[in-house]
Every structure is written in C-alpha cells, then in structure tokens.
Amino acid sequence: MTTASELPRSVDATLELLTSQGYLAERQLATVTFLALRMGRPLFLEGEAGVGKTEVAKVLAAALGRKLIRLQCYEGLDIASAVYEWNSAAQMIAIRLAEASGDTDREQLSSDIFAERYLIKRPLLQALEPDVAGAPVLLIDELDRADEAFEAYLLEILSDFQVTIPEFGTIQAPQPPIVIVTSNRTREIHDALKRRCLYHWVDYPSADRELA
C-alpha cells in the first residue's frame, strides 16, 4: 500500500509531481493545481474530450498516495446514485424479524433500521469519510452531463463538505477531500459552482510539449 505524501510545496514541485507520473503538464496547470491543493479548493478543469482532464485526478491520487473516488456524471444522476441510499430490502427484513419476535416499540425500531449499517454509501458520501492514507481525491467527472438540479446539490456539498441525511443526521468530512471537477463543456456550468473552484481551461498539448 502506498502511504500519503505531503502536498507539494511549490509550483515547481507540483509540476514535478505531475511529470513524475508521465503526465505532460504545462506550467499554468501546475500553478492552478498547486493553488487548489494549498487552498483546499476544488479544481475545475474544462476542455475538449481527450485533453487529459480525468488523467489529472488519477495522477494526483497516485502521486499523493490517496484513494481515488470517482463519480461519473450522466443525465438523470440523482442523490441515490451519487450520495447515499437506504438498503430498503435489508430494512424490510429487520422490520419483519422485529415483528416476528414481538418487538413493537416503534421508536426503537425506526432508530434501529436507520442505522449506518443500512446505509449504502455512494461516491460523494464515501469521499467524506476519513482514510488512513489521508483525504481521498474525489473526481466528479463530466459534470456537464448531469442535470442542473444535481449541480445545485453539489454546490452545497462542496461548500461545507457535509451531507445531511434526514433520518440519520449530518455527516461531515474530518478532512475535506481533494476535489477535481471536469467538464467537456457540452453545456455551461453555473457560475456559482465555478466560483467555488479554481478554474482552468485544459488545451490540447502544444507540439513542443509533446515532443519534449
């Protein structure tokens, strides 16, 4: 298992970190990545398909020895797939068992079935959990494919790195994840979300960089 390494201390160190993983990085990208890591702000990467946006998250996770948690966005992506869902089949069994054994204390039963072990954690919730290797890298990939309602919800999570589950309570990340958001710009992402993040337009590699 890899162990977490320190965050890079300079733009140069960040450039080296990206390059060490075989990523061809321009200084501008290294600069904005360095700042995002330092400031604990999400990094928003926009650009054409294939320019290396997703790769930045993979490379960062590998270089820093962090877990990579990926949320692939698509039309219709909802909270049940992105954040959490109750395991209703298991809850139902628990209810039947309680009934069969004559446990009729409603309060007790409802607090029993809304316990953590019936909670199915999806990527956004997983990313809020502590990890021995340090806060994970959360990749929110191709956000432009998700609906705007989901974007609004995401904005909330990215503001305070916490999720409130009505039946359960609030789960807050002890240490915010390193967040990379990507978009292929098939539509505009709202300014409110962009303002939360450090933004960078990723261009095709220039010829001299590719040949270097």
24 binds ligand ADP (CB under 6 A): yes
Q: At 115, give phi and psi (nearest 5°).
A: -95, 165
205 binds ligand ADP (CB under 6 A): yes
Q: Which is nearer to Mg ion, 46 or 173 (CB)?
A: 46
95 binds ligand ADP (CB under 6 A): no
- Name the binder of 84 from Mg ion, ligand ADP, none, CB < 5-8 A by kind: none
Please give the Cα distance from 190 to 64 (Å, whole number): 30
Tell me how far apart the terminal alpha carbons of the chain are, to the nearest angstrom.
32
Q: Report which residue type is found at 73.
A: C
Q: Which is nearer to ligand ADP, 40 or 205 (CB)?
A: 205
Q: Which is nearer to ligand ADP, 96 or 209 (CB)?
A: 209
The residues that bridge with 137 in the sheet, in sequence order, are 68, 178
Q: Report which residue type is found at 210.
A: E
- Name the binder of 24 from ligand ADP, Mg ion, none, CB < 5-8 A by kind: ligand ADP
Sign of CA dihedral 14, 19, 23, 29: positive
**Least distance CB 173 / ligand ADP (angstroms):** 25
**Taking a C-beta distance cutoff of 8 angstroms, is the pair 197, 41 a contact?**
yes
Which residues of this protein are in contact with ligand ADP, per CB under 6 A? 22-24, 47, 49-55, 182, 205
